[in-house]
Structure 1
Amino acid sequence: MTGLFDLTDRTVLVTGAGSGIGQRVAVGLAEAGADVSCVDLAAQRTGSEETADRIRAVGRRAAVIDADVTDADSVEAAVAAHESELGALDGAVNCAGVNHGAHAEEMDVADFRRVVDVNLTGVFLCCQAEGRRMLDRGRGAIVNIASMSATIANRGLWQAHYNSSKAGVKHLTTTLALEWGTRGVRVNALSPGYIETAMIAGPEWTDKKEGFARDTPLGRMGTPDDLVGPVVFLLSDAASYVTGADLLADGGFTGW
């Protein structure tokens, strides 16, 4: 049965691999047997190199690739570099994303566009470049990191741009799954709940995080470790009949 989750000798591209969720997922995929390319902004290269070192430490191959997910040519070059260094693309995890808070009536349109450009347009450009390779071969699996904010509007957080972008990722995922399903490519979304990362490590988050844990049925916030299993599942043969799904990994939060 465990063989269903085995990713040995598959190659997977992970965006946002220089830190946080993307970094842990990239290492987790290597622990499941995959060779992984770590794709992130050049400014995140130190983190990407750290991720690659951790991948190599578990005996798998790694590539470090600089790319901007909002630039189609950059994304196309990243996928080409992955295949040049690691071989044919079997799977992808589109994790790169940004967020910040602002009341909707005060939000600068440039900030709205930036969040949507990275979180939604960036995911589309990645899926497009990844999908072309997979469709040519008639096989492949893509996981897009959405958010429970695609399903709910978070109390006490002012992020109309983020919520809208993640809802777009969720429906983009469904659309691509339906379009590509008969051509051998599965596309699913993973929607985390409240996850402990460096993005919410400051003292200004202390009270909010206590509330997040209290309001989650499992009684705690999640960690990047909690997301490794769901991603491995969605990329593996264990999910061979799963496409167009939005897998909530939120500790039950959206069930209230």
Structure 2
Amino acid sequence: MKGVQVSDTPMEFLVEYLTRAQEICDGMAHIPAELKDNLGKALELASGLDHYLEGMTSKESEQLAELNAETVSHDWDQAYKDGKTMFCLPKECITGHVEGQTLKMLVRMSKARRVLEVGMFTGYGALSMAEGLPQDGQLVACELEPYLKEFSQPFFDKSPHGKKITVKTGPAMDTLKDLADAGEQFDMVFIDADKNNYINYYNFILDNALLRLDGVICVDNSLFKGRVYLREVEDENAKALRRFNQFVCDDPRVEQVIVPLRDGLSIIRLVPMATASTLQQSPITDDVVFRGVGGASVLGRMRLDGKVAYVTGAGQGIGRGFAHALGEAGAKVAVVDIDEAKAKSVVEELTLKGIRSIPIVADISESEDVQRMVDTVVSTWGTIHIACNNAGINMNSASEDTTLSEWDKTFNVNLRGTFMCCQAAGRVMLKQGYGKIINTASMASLIVPHPQKQLSYNASKAGVVKLTQTLGTEWIDRGVNVNCISPGIVDTPLIHSESLRPLVQRWLSDVPAGRLAQVTDLQAALVYLACDASNYMTGHNLVIEGGQSLW
């Protein structure tokens, strides 16, 4: 038999009171029709909201749905009577569908990798947040009741995200002290525990740096049945939460907003820097190191929001990886390739990730194509901030057999083409007084890779390095940085071709890292050279080759 619905949230109480009022009105004569009509409309608005939110919120996973059903149907009163739990746990305390999806979204929006849950009724909320974490993410749940760990673990084991969850049983403060002693830090903390200790948990988390810079604290039940803002309240939990809400509101270390979701969800964020009044009271050096350049953190300075970039040879391999990296960092990206189908394919990939991009077909060995490429980017987005000159070719032959045709073709793309791209993009950048040019050179500019014979390639890439150094010194004082990246042997489909596959083991024996480079090994370096954090670096050849050039 289904139990009677017990009101637990401000909206549920509002519906309950409006329903009673309507019943009273219906039983009385001479009630104005306008009053009845407005009362009915108010009840319709209040009673329909939660149902609408439930229906319009993305569906929960199969594992969450199963965990919720088992939790709701479980006889928690009997578990308490049997001595399995220390407290009689009301099933109304579990995190619901809408709140679970909200927490999951907050994890994703904050790009959290590590989450701490200081809670009770570990299960639905923990798994919801774990679903929002990346594959290598971790959620640590502080749970007082060992029985709840036993109850939830089978459902965690069924979920592909359950392995991210570690449940630590015992008093929450003891667990927090252990985590602090171990130097642990978290990107997001969710507090849903004993209300009288909210302030203690909150202060301990901030005072012991358990929350990372720009981290987020979410606090459940912060509206507590609406009693936190009612005038006359005797409920001790309500009084504790009223004190907590005011304490956080007055805390200069954070900013907060309370979202009227179910029983209230506070979202609390560390402020980027101390306030002026706090600085006056603290013996710290208030300078650019403390505040960050332009008020931005180091990671913030590596963002490329609002920047316009192009990448040549972006239809595959390293160039494709570079296009994704710049787009993920916030830039708009022109995907340039001689193969139209490949360029469009990468644009489709970027579009699926919400990255603004356009395809451009160009042969960079042709000056007309290079100028058209630059003109297209400028006409589309107004400027160019980042020029990634990556396109290149390689044809192997013994030096005595290398033809002038092979030499010229290699140099026309690798060196002449790179020069033309630098010059065309550089003219735009010099005019605006800002720009980042990153050329793709090669480890072959430093050593002679073997056993393959590639004279023209090696010489052309050495030329790219000297071109980069020369432009880097000429243009730095006019706001344009020119650098290059020299990858080692990168694991691309070409490496596994019939002609090169036999050489892989020989190459691996020359690499201290014991493996070939992946395209993803180069992405962060490109973003660094493209962002403002590298403004003092120019003419540099950034070598990423697993140590191969050292042997």
TM-score between the two structures when normalised by the length of structure 1: 0.97
Structure 2: distance between partners of 1:4 and 1:214: 38
What residue in structure 1 maps to residue 501 of structure 2? 206
User: Partner of 1:110: helix, strand, or coil?
Assistant: helix
**Is residue 2:542 matched to residue 1:247?**
yes
Paired residue for 1:166, among 461, 474, 479?
461
**Is residue 2:376 matched to residue 1:81?**
yes
Structure 1: distance between partners of 2:444 and 2:350: 30
Paired residue for 1:115, among 372, 386, 410?
410
> 1:88, CA displacement in angstroms?
1.2
Structure 1: distance between partners of 2:507 and 2:544: 14
Greater mean deviation of Cα atoms: 203-212 or 107-116: 203-212
**Deviations 1:158-180 (CA, angstroms, capped at 9, x unpaired):** 10000000000000000001111
**Is residue 2:341 matched to residue 1:46?**
yes
1:56-205 paired onto structure 2 within 5 Å? 56-205=351-500
What residue in structure 2 maps to residue 34 of structure 1? 331
Paired residue for 2:522, among 227, 233, 236?
227
What residue in structure 2 maps to residue 6 of structure 1? 303
Structure 2: distance between partners of 1:97 and 1:56: 25
**Deviations 1:68-116 (CA, angstroms, capped at 9, x unpaired):** 1111121011101011123310001101100111001011110111001
What residue in structure 1 maps to residue 316 of structure 2? 19
User: Partner of 1:143: helix, strand, or coil?
Assistant: strand
Task: Give the letter aligned to residue 4 of structure 1.
Answer: R
What residue in structure 1 maps to residue 513 of structure 2? 218
Greater mean deviation of Cα atoms: 46-55 or 135-144: 46-55
> 1:48, CA displacement in angstroms?
0.5
> 1:217, CA displacement in angstroms?
1.0
Structure 1: distance between partners of 2:386 and 2:416: 19
Structure 2: distance between partners of 1:95 and 1:167: 14
What residue in structure 1 maps to residue 271 of structure 2? none
Structure 1: tracts of 5 or more residues without a match: none
Task: Give the letter aligned to residue 386 of structure 2.
Answer: G
Task: Give the letter aligned to residue 5 of structure 1.
Answer: M
Structure 2: distance between partners of 1:248 and 1:157: 20
Structure 2: distance between partners of 1:86 and 1:219: 43
Q: Which fold has the larger relative contact order, with Cα–Cα distance below 8 Å and residues 6 or more apart in sequence?
A: 1
> 1:204, CA displacement in angstroms?
3.0
User: Partner of 2:499: helix, strand, or coil?
Assistant: helix
Answer yes or no: is the 8 Å Cα contact 1:190–1:249 preserved in 2: yes
Q: Whose Rg is larger?
A: 2
Answer yes or no: is the 8 Å Cα contact 1:191–1:249 preserved in 2: yes
> 1:191, CA displacement in angstroms?
0.2
Structure 1: distance between partners of 2:307 and 2:355: 10
**Deviations 1:34-65 (CA, angstroms, capped at 9, x unpaired):** 11001111xx1111111111111221210111
TM-score between the two structures when normalised by the length of structure 2: 0.45
Task: Give the letter aligned to residue 175 of structure 1.
Answer: T
Structure 2: distance between partners of 1:87 and 1:217: 45
> 1:253, CA displacement in angstroms?
0.8
Answer yes or no: is the 8 Å Cα contact 1:61–1:86 preserved in 2: no
Task: Give the letter aligned to residue 504 of structure 2.
Answer: K
User: Partner of 1:114: helix, strand, or coil?
Assistant: helix
Structure 2: distance between partners of 1:191 and 1:18: 19
> 1:203, CA displacement in angstroms?
3.0
Structure 1: distance between partners of 2:481 and 2:326: 17
User: Partner of 1:204: helix, strand, or coil?
Assistant: coil
Answer yes or no: is the 8 Å Cα contact 1:104–1:159 preserved in 2: yes
User: Partner of 2:439: helix, strand, or coil?
Assistant: strand
Give the aligned length.
254
Structure 1: distance between partners of 2:303 and 2:466: 28
CA RMSD of aligned residues (A): 1.0
> 1:213, CA displacement in angstroms?
2.0
Task: Give the letter aligned to residue 111 of structure 1.
Answer: E
Answer yes or no: is the 8 Å Cα contact 1:103–1:159 preserved in 2: yes
Structure 2: distance between partners of 1:210 and 1:34: 38
> 1:67, CA displacement in angstroms?
1.1
Greater mean deviation of Cα atoms: 54-63 or 128-137: 54-63
Structure 1: distance between partners of 2:421 and 2:368: 10
> 1:28, CA displacement in angstroms?
1.3
